[in-house]
Amino acid sequence: MSQSAQKPEFIGFGLGLRPTHYPEILDHDPSVDWFEVISENYMVPGGQPLQILERIRARYPIVMHGVSLSIASTAALNMDYLANLKGLAERFEPRWISDHLCWTGVHGVNLHDLLPIPYTQEALDHVSDRVHQVQDYLGRPLTLENVSSYVSFGRSEMLEWEFIAELTRRTGCWLLFDVNNVYVSAFNHEYDPKQFIDGIPADRVLQFHVAGHSHMDTHIIDTHDAPVCDDVWDLYRYALKRFGPVSTIIERDDEIPPLADLIDELDVARKIAADTLSKSKTAVNA
């Protein structure tokens, strides 16, 4: 997969699609530019989930966001999973397909969590190979998201953003830049989140996630159960200045409020982006 694959166009401000909001979306066509759908939720044989997704897809662009690719795992790639993913992509034609830069288990076990990796040459070689394999299989570039992490490995040989930058250089993958995750990981591992942003190749960033988290005093946990906090909005401003207009969603997985509340929060993102980009020269790259 070459780096020359054309960058998908900016699609505006979206939300993570959650089943509790299905009726409202179908009945009222809310003003959301696009929806990010959890791929695994639609890896089912049939019934309503797939029919509803079809109806929503007819009205909105979608992006498929997975949690089980386990790209950094040393276990063999799960070809059944990839076949499912490819089939789903053929059916729903997402603008792009994303998953996380992490692993979820080895020896046939799935921990259903986004587990951390050591930032070593060995891991970089391994993950790069896997990204190539997956991209070849899917016939399109992959988009990878930086995760929140709580531990770091003594053996790491580089910083997280150096690892990510080199991975995109080697594989041509796109980045789903989770602003909240950078905030969380920066606090947990005691670095400046702006340094992270400065270290990421701006032209590879395809999407932003913003979300809420839980502060535990000595560390922060990425819980997606609260509104986006001011610090994360500040970091979003900083990221916008560096990366320019990037398709954005708000992620909410727990304590999910009515859709109207999320749309209000999304309007905050729109406004911040409009204000920031009007003051910034990067906007001309739109």
Partner 1 sequence: MKDLASLQEEFQRAVIDGDDAVLAELVDTSKENRAVLLNVYRNAYTERLVEFLSNDYEKLYAYLGEEQFGQMAHGFITANPSATSNARWFGVRLPEFLRETEPYRTLPELGDLAALERALNDVFDAPDAPVLDLADLTVVPADGWPRLTFAPHPATRRLDHPTNATDIWKALHNEEAPPETKILGETRQVIVYRSGGMASFRPLPSDEAMMWDEAAKGVRFSVLCEMLSIYGGEENAAGRAAQHLQRWISSGLLTRFELES
Alpha-carbon 67 to chain mean position: 10
Q: Which is nearer to Fe ion, 1 or 65 (CB)?
A: 65
Q: What 3-state class would DSSP assign to 208?
A: strand
From the centroid of its chain, how far is CA 90?
20
Q: Torsions phi, psi of 100, nearest 5?
A: -110, 150
3-state secondary structure of 91: helix
* Min CB(212)–partner 1 separation in Å: 16
- In the complex, the smallest distance separating the C-beta of residue 154 from partner 1, rounded to whole angstroms, is 5
Q: Mind giving me the DSSP string for 217-246?
A: SS-EE----SPPPHHHHHHHHHHHHHH-S-
Q: Which of 22, 30, 95, 118 binds partner 1 (CB under 8 A)?
A: 118
The interface with partner 1 within residues 213-242 (CB under 8 A) comprises 218-219, 221
* Interaction between residue 209 and Fe ion (CB under 5 A): yes
Minimum Å gap between C-beta 66 and Fe ion is 12
Is 79 one of the binding residues for partner 1 (CB under 8 A)? no
Sign of CA dihedral 219, 224, 230, 235: positive
Q: Which of 34, 73, 210, 269 binds partner 1 (CB under 8 A)?
A: 73
CA distance 139 to 226: 37
Distance CA 70, CA 72 (A): 6
Task: Give the one residue of 148, 178, 240, 266 binding Fe ion; rule: CB under 5 A.
Answer: 178
* Angle, CA 36 vertex, CA 54 and CA 260 arms, to 5°: 95
According to the binding rule CB under 8 A, does residue 123 interact with partner 1? yes
Give me the least distance between CB of 49 and partner 1, in Å please: 6
Distance CA 138, CA 218 (A): 41
Which among 72, 41, 90 has a CA at the least distance from the CA of 134?
Answer: 72
Q: CB under 5 to 8 A by kind: which of Fe ion, partner 1, none does 178 bind? A: Fe ion
> Hunting for tokens 């988290």 — which residue is that?
213
- Of the candidates 20, 48, 195, 285, which one interacts with partner 1 according to CB under 8 A? 48
Check: CB of residue 152 under 8 Å from CB of residue 116.
Answer: yes
112 binds partner 1 (CB under 8 A): yes
Neighbours of 47 (CB within 10 A): 8
Decide if 209 contacts 251 (C-beta within 8 A): yes
Per CB under 8 A, does 154 bind partner 1?
A: yes
Distance, C-alpha 154 to centroid of its chain: 26
Residue 115 binds partner 1 (CB under 8 A): yes
Q: How far is the CB of 55 from partner 1 (least distance, A)?
A: 12
Q: Which is nearer to partner 1, 190 or 230 (CB)?
A: 190
Binding site partner of 120, from Fe ion, partner 1, none, Cβ cut-off 5-8 A by kind: partner 1
| Residue 64 C-beta: closest distance to partner 1, Å | 14
Regarding 213 and contact with Fe ion (CB under 5 A), the answer is: no
The contact pattern for partner 1, residues 178-197, with x = CB under 8 A and - = no contact, is ----------xxx-------
Q: Which residues bind partner 1 (CB under 8 A)?
A: 40-41, 43-51, 68, 70, 73-74, 78, 80-81, 103, 105-113, 115, 117-118, 120, 122-123, 126, 150-155, 188-190, 218-219, 221
